[in-house]
Structure 1
Amino acid sequence: MNKLAAVAVSLVAVGALSTAGAWYTGTQLPGVLNNLIDEANKQGADALLGTGVSTKFELVSLETRLFSSTAHYRFSLDAPAKDGEPRHIEILLVDNIEHGPLPASRLMRLNLWPVMAASSYQLEPNELTQRWFDAAKGAAPLTGTGVLGYDGSTQGTMVLTPLDFAPSPTSTVKFSGMTLDIEASKNAKQVQVSGGMDSLLLNTTDDTPMQVDLRNLTVSSEQHLGSGDFYVGDSSIKLATAQIKVGDKPAVLIKDLAQVGSLQESGTSLNGQIGYDIGMVSYDGKDIGSLRTLWAIKNFDSAALQSLIKLYQDKLTPIQQAQALGEEAPELDFSADEETRMKADLEKLLAGKPQLALDNLTLTTVHGQASLRVVLDLDKPESFELAPDELARQTIAKLEAKLSVAKAVIGDGVRIQAALEGVTDAKAIEEQATMMTEMGSGMALGTGLLTLEGDTLQSSLHYADNKVTFNGQDMTVEEFVTLVMSKTGGMGGGLGDDPSAYDSQDGSQYDEGADQPE
């Protein structure tokens, strides 16, 4: 009996604590929800800065009971006016909230870790979203669950329901659904997002039929708030394949699309890179080529950059609001104080000797490769009141650029064009590719701005301390500008009246009777 009594006392104690905790949650919930909504609106405004689009998330109503609450939210979006009419949409959500510390849904899964609330939300139908409900056969097309911890952290999952419907008599949509897992610390100082979708198929049978087939999208992001309101960390968006078919033309298949970025903070400086990749593009079952790009920044003062963005944001917000309402937007002008602040921020930013770089741009075709790399180092000038040419000299500390193009890339370009135009005569295509390879490389060499090493066209530039090294030759900035102007001043780029008549090997002209490209 003593053991039974102890168990009974324990159950009563847990029940009393749960009831007290549920009551406490009910009293705190309105303030917590409003804080979360304010943070979401701030993040949304920052993300949409410069797009002309504004969003607002708001709590419409909250019905609170002892162990649960029901909240209704409204999400609205305003876009710049089109044809004189402002564009406005609204989406409604309903949220069933179980009060902590031990919500029933977590108890049923034997999860005894105390939390403030457990949420289960879904989209509500309105005039805009009713067709989505119809496409999901009556189910809510968007649902989600979440948990709010006593430390202010959140953890949840958002699910887009599979859809199979015809939005118009001439179009169909088939969507596999999408799931995103989201975790965030208090005030979203740390955020993790992961998830993806299997497929999205779009088909239209209008005047120009089109089919789009997207497969295997994955999203991953792990970031935290740095010292200057910048999220630093890693993120990626990847799509395995995208196939597009327009009319009766063969399909274009794009494989391994990716956007991968990383932003890090070292002291007060931001350093980061972002890459955009296309693994392979194929047309009518034949590979065309791949593309890789990598951009990078170094030594960007976080506080100065944040201040410049804030100034820009303050100036842009009234313009966006006017655009959304279809009103005349105010001019973007700066007061004397704002100009002083902007110059001070620029001086601080340049004092850190920031660097901008196109670290890698590489196009790889079936038979060759072309690449470009550009690195720009900046420095603080003595004054922003200097003459433009002197200001540029002092601001650009160093510039390096290198271009490399295999001659075979030119021929591959001809083959790609022939495929797009439906040309099937293999012999004629190869003859044209060979001729245009020699002609194109000859024209490039004729400008004097590129050199030939083996079968690769190259050009290099190095600038520092008011001195230029161009393709291995040292010269002053003035001499370099004069050289470029003299080589590009005419349409022929220094080749004479008919640049297409020169051979790339010895500069001699083709015979007049020789076959010329159409």
Structure 2
Amino acid sequence: MNKPLGVLVGIVVIAGVLNTAGAWYTGTKIEGELKTSIEEANKEMAAQLAGSATHGSIELVSIETHLYSSTAHYRLTLQDDAEGSDPQPVELLFVDHIEHGPLPWSRIKTFKWAPVMAVSNYALEKTPFTEKWFAATKDQAPLIGQVTLGYGRSVDGQLELLPFDLTLDDKTRISFSGLNLSAQTDEGAQHLKAKGYMDYLKLLAAPADTAPVSIELSGLTLASDLNKSTYGFYLGQNVLELSEAQLTSGAAQSVLKVKNFEYTGSASAKDRLMSGRLTYSLGDVTFNDKPVGSAEMVMSASNLDIPAMQSLLQIYQNKFQPQADGTLPKVQLTPAEDTQVQADVSTLLAAKPNLALEKLNIKTTNGESQLSISSSLAQPASFELPPLDVVKQMLTSLDAKLQLSKPMIADLASVQAQLAGQTDPKQIAQVANMTSELAGVMAVQTGLANVEGSNILASLNYAAGVVNFNGEKMSLEDFVTLMGTRFGGVAPQ
């Protein structure tokens, strides 16, 4: 044997010995690592589902450990306690084939030679509950995934939902392209990055007593880049993009189509104060292939006291969960809870939060409307003061502007008439013009706005106890009296 070949063989032998030793060591730790991961997952699930009627848990049913691999079985249980829901919990079973590190074969053959603790290859198992799903994917596991666990407890995971065509009954059909998700976290999941993509989802329902309804979603992209805050929840950016959504409904099978929907949410914190911003946009809306318009909305908030918000949210979750019909239960706060709410509200206001609807733009073929509202709040000296005095101290500023386009109102009224079943072009145009003109007349008659050309205009500014309403200045008391007079209310005390 020549020397280079001997060195190479030696390296291979040594690597094999080290890998065997590493695999044995990993095998002795796998069960403990799994239990720790499941405990963390259950805590995170409980936090995410807090305040809802749904709760769930993951449990390790069994594990068989060998030198180079282990096989584990898990049970995911989901229960909905909402009134009127099915009392039987949903159970999903998973099998997990775990390759021990430091050099699992699945990584070696893809030239990923950095040592890792383990590679998990999991899949949904067939049960009576999931057998239809398996049938739709030709008896392949419809949900599969892989998770690589690093020695520093970093995680790199991929999840795949397989495509299928499923006929639930003679009236309902689902067609799904499949979905791919990937996520990476560092030790302790302090930093989380995730992305996902779905090509399409189509749902067709044909109830016996109504016209068929179909929904089609195309080109769904998800992305997140988050960091865990010191308060236990994630801050950062989330993005959702949808290339196209289509709804077909009604006796005439009218088609409402939305293109280029985008949602962006971002949040950050400095010390105990949080700021956030939400953006929604619709790039193009059509009805029966005729253009309707586009829209954009931007909302923001800053100086939000995190501990106070968490405390208020906890009380809300414990006391005011919506019932099955959507209404809030009639509950009474305990004296301690009432005191806590008042303290939390005071703390929130002491941080001087700012809330804003920065932009609401709706643009149609013939017009464009805009609305913006911004406000700043502060803590009043006492909530026992007369209501108007509390408002004066609590609302430090308010600025609102509205530009409402009459042609835009006519465009939307025309679409509404068609959705209601109108087909006569002359009648649709008449309804649209009447609606837009009526909006202008009502705005002027109520004194809430002015009409300039084709626009309905309104503005409201408040600061230091003075209100500027559509260019007319007055005290807050006079403004409240004016509104009460116009809408049949009661003058302030």
State the TM-score, normalizing by the size of structure 2: 0.91
In structure 2, what is the Cα distance between the partners aligned to 1:263 and 1:466? 32
CA distances 1:340-387 after superposition (whole Å, capped 9, x unpaired): 444443333222211111111222222112222121211112234444
Q: How does 1:474-493 map to 2 (within 5 A)?
A: 474-489=473-488
Indicate the residue corresponding to 1:116 in structure 2: 117
Q: Is this contact kept in 2: 1:447–1:487, CA < 8 A?
A: yes
Q: Which of 275, 279, 303 does residue 279 from structure 2 map onto?
A: 275
Structure 1 Cα separation of the partners of residues 88 and 319 of structure 2: 19
Q: Following the alignment from structure 1 to structure 2, what is the Cα–Cα distance between the partners of residues 331 and 26? A: 54
Q: Deviations over 1:275-324 (max 9, x none)?
A: 222223222111222222211111112333334434555x369x79xx89
Shift of 1:201: 1.3
Does the 8 A contact of 1:245 with 1:251 survive in 2?
A: yes
Assess, with a 3 A threshold, how the Cα gap between structure 1 residues 16 and 238 changes in structure 2: closer, same or farther.
same
1:247-262 alignment, distance < 5 Å: 247-249=250-252, 250-262=254-266
Q: Could you say if the C-alpha distance between residues 14 and 432 of structure 1 is closer, same or farther in structure 2, counting changes exceeding 3 Å?
A: closer
Identity of aligned residues (%): 39
2:155 corresponds to: 154
- The question of whether the paired residues in 2 share the 8 Å contact of 1:39 and 1:187 is answered with no
Residue equivalent to 2:173: 172
Post-superposition offset of 1:43? 2.2
- Counterparts in 2 of 1:6 and 1:25: CA distance versus 1, 3 Å: same
Residue 301 (1) aligns with residue 305 (2): yes
Partner amino acid for 1:94? V
Q: Which amino acid aligns with 1:275?
A: T
Match of 2:10 in 1: 9
8 Å CA contact retained: 2:117, 2:149: yes
Distance in 1, Cα, partners of 2:338 & 2:25: 51
SS of 1:35's equivalent? helix
User: 1:378-437 CA deviation, whole Å, 9 max, x = no partner?
Assistant: 111223444444333322222221121012123223322332244444344434433443
Partner of 2:248: 245
Please tell me the residue identity of whatever aligns with 2:230: S
Give yes or no for the alignment of 1:219 onto 2:218: no
In 1, Cα distance between the equivalents of 2:329 and 2:223? Answer: 39
Report the equivalent of 1:502: none
Match of 2:359 in 1: 360
* More off after superposition, 88-97 vs 343-352: 343-352
Return closer, same or farther for 1:26/1:52 CA change in 2, 3 Å cut-off.
same
Shift of 1:7: 3.3
Paired position in structure 2 for 1:189: 190
Q: Counterpart in 1 of 2:129?
A: 128
Matched, 1:288 2:299: no
C-alpha separation in 2, matches of 1:65 and 1:54: 34
Calculate the aligned-residue CA RMSD, in Å: 2.5
Matched AA of 1:277: S
1:212-249 C-alpha deviation (Å, 9 max, x unpaired): 21111111111111232231111111111111112432
- Choose 469-478 or 423-432, whichever is displaced more: 423-432
Distance 1:330 1:425 in 2: 47
Question: What code does the residue aligned with 2:291 have?
Answer: D
Matched position secondary structure for 1:251: strand
Deviates more, 1:354-363 or 1:141-150: 354-363
- Per the TM alignment, residue 261 of structure 1 is displaced from its structure 2 partner at its CA by 0.7
The letter for the 2-side match of 1:462 is N
Q: What is the match of residue 47 of structure 1? A: 48
- 1:44-94: CA deviations, max 9, x gaps? 222223221112122111111111111111111111245475242111111
Report matched runs for 1:16-31 at 5 Å.
16-31=17-32
Alignment of 1:135-146 (within 5 A): 135-146=136-147
Structure 1 residues 337 and 422: alpha-carbon distance in aligned structure 2, compared to 1, 3 A threshold: closer
2:207 equivalent to 1:206: yes
Compare relative contact order (CA 8 Å, sep 6+) and give the higher one, 1 or 2. Answer: 1
Q: Do the aligned residues in 2 keep the contact of 1:22 with 1:67 (CA within 8 Å)?
A: yes
Q: Pick which of 377-386 and 432-441 moved more.
A: 432-441
| AA partner of residue 123 (structure 1) | L
Other structure's SS at 1:36 match: helix
CA positional deviation for 1:163: 0.4
Matches within 5 A, 1:81-100: 81-83=82-84, 85-100=86-101
Distance 1:332 1:31 in 2: 44
Structure 2, unmatched stretches of 5+, are none
* Alignment partner of 1:231 is 2:244: no
1:62-81 alignment, distance < 5 Å? 62-81=63-82
With the length of structure 1 as denominator, give the TM-score of the two structures: 0.87
Residue type at the aligned position of 2:181: L
Distance in structure 2 (CA, Å) of the matches to 1:482 and 1:387: 15
**What displacement does 1:197 show?**
0.6
Distance between the aligned counterparts of 1:431 and 1:110, measured in 2? Answer: 70
Amino acid at match of 1:417: Q
8 Å contact kept, 1:19–1:67: yes
SS, match of residue 87 in structure 2: strand
SS of residue in 1 equivalent to 2:360: strand
